[in-house]
Amino acid sequence: MNVAAPVFAALALVLTGPVPMALSRARWTHRAPRAALVLWQAVAIAAVLSAFGSGLAIASQLLVPGPDGRPTTSPTREIDALGAPLWTLSVIVFALTVLIGLRLMYAGIRVGVRTRRRRARHRILVDLLDRADSPVARSRRADSPVARARSSYVRVLDMPEPIAYCLPGVRRRVVLSEGTFTSLGDPELTAVLAHEHSHLRARHDLVLEFFTAVHEAFPRFVRSGSALGAVALLIELLADDSAVRATGPTPVARALVACSNSVAPQGALGLGGTSTLLRVQRLGEPAARRRIPAIAYLGSAAILVLPTIAVAVPWLVELERLLRG
């Protein structure tokens, strides 16, 4: 039997289990979050492509397409050639590959629709409860960050606790509470706005949706539950870096501590969370050396090359055969 099928099946299993687990425990990723996020995406895409590559290799072995792209054998003949156990295993792996593909499409649609419905409902709610013209919001100077923040997509809620999160999408929103205004000074408010605007500008929500769909598509016994948490943390670190460039590390740290107890609703991206301590400690650490991101980028490219060629080339060959036939 062709060795391509088991090789790519094993690669898909490794890229969905041990590799994400090891990568989630690495600490260099906190000092180079952009490169780490690219590596995470490369691992996820390579896992999907490897699964499909295994399925294509098995299909070509079971069907033995001829010059016109049509099968030249039958199941009974392949059972005689491969043996019943190996043929059964090949069919099971091929069926699992097809199932993963169908689950990936279904999960992508379901996650996208579900997330957008939640955001739409929450967007209507914050629009109805908006208090951007309240005395607290108006108490700052006319040239303060708060005044500049009172744009068409910023909403203020009547809550004493410091809260800050954003709702990405076409009709985006940045949601703050009155407690955020009373608890933070102008530098900290600038840091909060820079953090949330970074999420909106970079569309970090789409990255999370992709990883959520991939996580739900693979069977539970092979996927790693650490990938989603690690990617969510890296996204927050990238937004923290944008805020640091706008205000410096101290206002960002103060804003993180003030909003640490706030929890963003599902579908939103918030400033607070359980990783506050790690993120504050990271602000005082030096950035990663240039060689670390460079190695991560090279590793991302290398991980993608083999499965991409394995999937693209057979499809192109079979398409060319069918067109000739």
Convert the pLDDT of each residue in 153-192 to its tens digit: 888 898 889 999 999 988 899 999 988 888 888 899 999 9
Q: Is the pLDDT of residue 26 over 50?
A: yes
Helix axis angle, 4-16 relative to 291-324, nearest 10°? Answer: 140
Q: 33 vs 324, which has greater pLDDT? A: 33
In a 10 Å sphere around its CB, with 0-12 CB exposed, 13-18 middle and 19+ buried, how is residue 306 labelled?
Answer: middle
Q: Is the pLDDT of residue 68 over 60?
A: no
**Highest mean pLDDT of the ranges 5-9, 86-90, 168-172, 235-239:** 235-239
Q: 318 vs 94, which has greater pLDDT? A: 94
Look up the domain containing 289 and give its range: 4-324
- Residue 203: pLDDT band by 50, 70, 90 thresholds? very high
Q: Is the pLDDT of residue 271 over 70?
A: yes
Overall number of domains in the chain: 1
Q: What is the mean pLDDT of residues 216-232?
A: 77
Please tell me the least confidently modeled range out of 57-66, 107-116, 196-205, 210-219: 57-66
Half-sphere exposure at residue 143, Cβ-oriented, CA atoms within 13 angstroms: 0
Per-residue model confidence (pLDDT) at position 223? 66
pTM of the predicted protein model: 0.82
- Tokens 């041990």 sit at which residue? 18
Half-sphere exposure at residue 142, Cβ-oriented, CA atoms within 13 angstroms: 0
Per-residue model confidence (pLDDT) at position 175? 92
Q: Which helix (H) or strand (E) holds 166?
A: strand 164-167
- Residue 317: pLDDT band by 50, 70, 90 thresholds? low
Q: 79 vs 34, which has greater pLDDT? A: 34
d(CA 100, CA 309): 20
- Residue 1: pLDDT band by 50, 70, 90 thresholds? very low
Per-residue model confidence (pLDDT) at position 141? 42
Q: Is the pLDDT of residue 287 over 90?
A: no
- Calculate the average pLDDT of the chain: 81
Q: Is the pLDDT of residue 148 over 60?
A: no
Per-residue model confidence (pLDDT) at position 137? 62
Torsion of CA 34, 36, 298, 310, to 10 degrees: -110
